[in-house]
Structure 1
Amino acid sequence: MRANDPATLFARAEQAFLAGRLEAARGDLLAALRLAGEHPAILHLLALLEKRAGQSEAARKAFARALRQAPDDPQIRTNHANLLLSLGDEEAALKELDRAIDARPGFRDAHVNRAVIRHRSGNATGAWRDIEAFAAAPGADARILTLAGQIRRDLGEFDAAATCFDRALALDPARATALAGRARVALERGDDDAEARHATARRAAPENIALRLGEALAAEAGGNAERGIALLREALHDAPLDTELHVELVRMASEAGYPHELDSIAAAAARPEASLPLHQAYVTALAQAERPQDVIEHVDRLAPAMRADALLSAQQLAAFDTLDMREHAAPLAERLANGPATVFVARHALRFGDPQRAASLLEARCLAGTGSVADWAHLGIAWRLLGDYRAAWLFDQPGLYRWTDLELSAEDLVGLAALLRGLHRTRAHPVDQSLRGGTQTRGSLFARREPALRALAAMLDTAIARHMAALPPADPAHPLLARRDAALRISGSWSVRLGASGFHVSHIHPQGLLSSALYIALPERIPADDDRAGWLELGRPPAELELDLPPVATIEPRPGRLALFPSYMFHGTRPFAAGERLTVAFDVALR
């Protein structure tokens, strides 16, 4: 073949491209184009070359030329999508992949790449639709199986995720992402080998901080919080500004009985290079430790650009309110109104006697369909204080909250209580949760493999379906009834064990649609008890708002009783004088 033959030049360019000799490959491709004209295969390789060379605009132009010649070529469109994704244009990348799949519905690369993007953006259901058939195929490779495991884990299908990761590791035992995914599933299911799996995965990816965090969490879950704390401190020695490590150290140390262990995160936040997320985490930790003056002073020390952050400003506003520093709170509240911290401004207005201001701030968001759980919770309080009829629409329609006694025998309850007690391995309540005077399990309770928990989860799925079916008719303006007929799932699950005088402060679950309490074991009543000791209160505002509003409803606790209620309803419990209160709780979210 002649050296100036287009096929020869193209073949030589391919070899040079594969060998990394990009200039030589570019020369041959340009020569081939002069001879062959706008040939799509030549333009496609030129686009890939320019992308590898970091010449994004040249790559974009070459892809456009190639697609003018071959608009239905799924490989060109898929690789063009990869370029768009690398440039941060996720929406355009998805459109290109859609076109590739329209042109050839079974084209695997396009489906897999679309699954990656959907998974990364939080659409695990759509990602699984893309990859399901390819993951089930006998010839599925380790990359596809690993991605399938990651997606199914995010769908809460932990057993299926473990199977996908195991299949990937059977093909490629050293695949770091599969080792990490399998270790994470072991932690979430409460498997005995979770810590060992994290150690193995960490050897395959020693720089992966998430694996070091996972190993610490696995040690804690196995009952060795001291080792977990040591592993976190060791990891922080190598990554002293890692926000997640600091957050977990504060939490783990607190639950192990070392309250408000903030020295490490305080030192990190004092460093000039500390990130905004690290400052946010430190200020949140100070607030949880009930140190409002320190919150104010730390935010004041920050550079103006960082001090203007909505979350930091909101925490400072809450601290001003706690200390009754109205002269400082008022101008800050005015600045934060109608932004991402609006709900904090509404809380400020409620605390200082202006429910009309709180309602006006929150109604625009909620009635436009963009209100969060927290927005609706505080708007409901404002409406109750104002005597607005919409408070009844939000809280009092029949069936929005109810209790039911599950078909759990005394033997079932005794067995569940024994199982749950064995999972309570910490010494103190979490600093970031609502309980006081007790402990809370870590991880997702219903991800575990104990048959009793699996059976309970199935029973609860049925109870949730019955609850939703019995709700009033769908109402597109209502935060719960708008989703009356949606597909739902249990999105988080845990157990709480309260001791003498233990209780829950009034709180909401901002990620839920429905929230719950299932009573497993309760203390015996004694005559001197408050006649409503331990009762669940729905709708009572949190104490820090200093509002004299009674609960909307109360529910008497009994072993085997399940209470379901909208997540936007503040809820808490009255303390028991003595004894143990053991519950299971979970949130319900959109599938």
Structure 2
Amino acid sequence: MTSRLALALLLALTGCGDDAAERVARAEREIAGMELGAAKVDLTAALADAGDDPAILRMLAAVQLRLGDGDGAAATASRLERSGGSQAELALIRAEAAVPRGNSDQALALLGQDASPAAERVRAAALSAKGDTAGAFAALQRGAASGGDPLLLRDYARFLIAAQDLDAASRQVEALSRLPAGKFDAALIAADIAVRRGQFAEAHAVLEQMAAKYPRVPDPWLARANAFDLQGKLDDALAMTSRAAAVAPDDPRVRDLQVQFASMKGEWDKVRSLLARQERDLDPLSANGLSYAEAMLRTGHPEQARAMFQRALTRSPNNPFARIMLAEAQLATGDSLAAFGTVRPLAASQLAGPRELELAVKAADAAGLPDATPLRARLRAAQAGQAQSLAAEGQAALAREDWSAAAQAYAQLAQSGDDPEVLKRLALALSHAGKGEEAIRAADKARALRPEDPDTLYMAGLVRARTGTDLPTAITLLRKASSAEPTNAVFRNTLARYQTQPGA
């Protein structure tokens, strides 16, 4: 809170009674500790005691907006208007409140020509909700250039992470960390970037410090749970989830992790119990949607599971988990030929592991197909570790950003035959290793094998954009990938990230 606002509050509360003053003071401490739900309760109570004081209303609106409570913030804006709030501040509050309520056009109209960093942040959110990712990116760039708004820098960093530009995101985090009001988000995002780079010890150290500093906030525990999950440390992830649940038992993110880990442990009745009330509203491609579909399969409802996985795969044909699970559901319903057709693209890859190959063998055997014999030989080889060790080496190297090691592992795999999955990863590693021409050749070879595949289009565009080679072609390829999968945030954000560069 600025000293000016603190002074305004002090003057406003003179004579308002001890209860209101105490509640506002406690709310200030809660906001500093990121206990926004508690601050909302205290500010609401303070207003009940002190009346519609403009300074308290401004505090409450800010808290409501940070919580995503658009209805509450809009109501607070109406009270602030009656109490003498300026038209400029009212327009900004109402614009931001309109976004979570699904009224993006109204938000943009309310913002008008306001070019302040806060307005650009809200404009970016509204444009993003409308599907205008390029417009959102441009607004974030303008806002970052014109001033240090902590929430804008937070959103800008998150956008860049989704565009897989971790270096640029780290620069925004550095700027954010220099702002007193940005330290919480800066630390969380820095930990996220560290996890994405495989720097788990560094991430856990940051998050442990955050948990000590913000003891009543679940975010550090949730982030540690996700990090431990990526490390394959399920028991530690469960322990962190329990810590988060102790702080915020009703937080939907806590429930989501409980579902995820119950799925990993095969506790399917628990998964169904946790998600039963949401069944009709579950996105089939979300983690919860996929977990619920698998729970239906594992508890004896293969037809329903098949329909759910079919919807997921239709929306995202390159989702390997949805493809594997649909094949399992098809096998469970007796349609072995369809199951083999579903799993075959995964089993054909040199990156195929025992799970994909074993499923393909089962489907081919059940359908009486001759493909079972060579697949069985490949399954034995996979179980013996052939090719899998190279695939594991390559994946581990990608995670720790050892681009040369990753390129070497995938180049060895590529010698065994043309495989678009291998070539995509090889192209990515080569582009980061400064071998632009080789990266483009690998990506184009993958695209030639699967010319309409959104992933191969994306990689062919990405390596060109990263190396600054033929940007018009790069943008065309990225745009095709994004059009093929319009819900893919990585595709959308990467396109927006590069299409504004000179020469594009």
TM bucket normalised to smaller: 0.3 to 0.5
TM-score of the two chains, using structure 1 as the length reference: 0.40
Which has the higher relative contact order, 1 or 2, with Cα contacts under 8 A spaced 6 or more apart? 1
Q: TM-score, normalised by structure 2?
A: 0.46
Structure of higher CA gyration radius: 1
The structure that is helix-richer by fraction is: 2
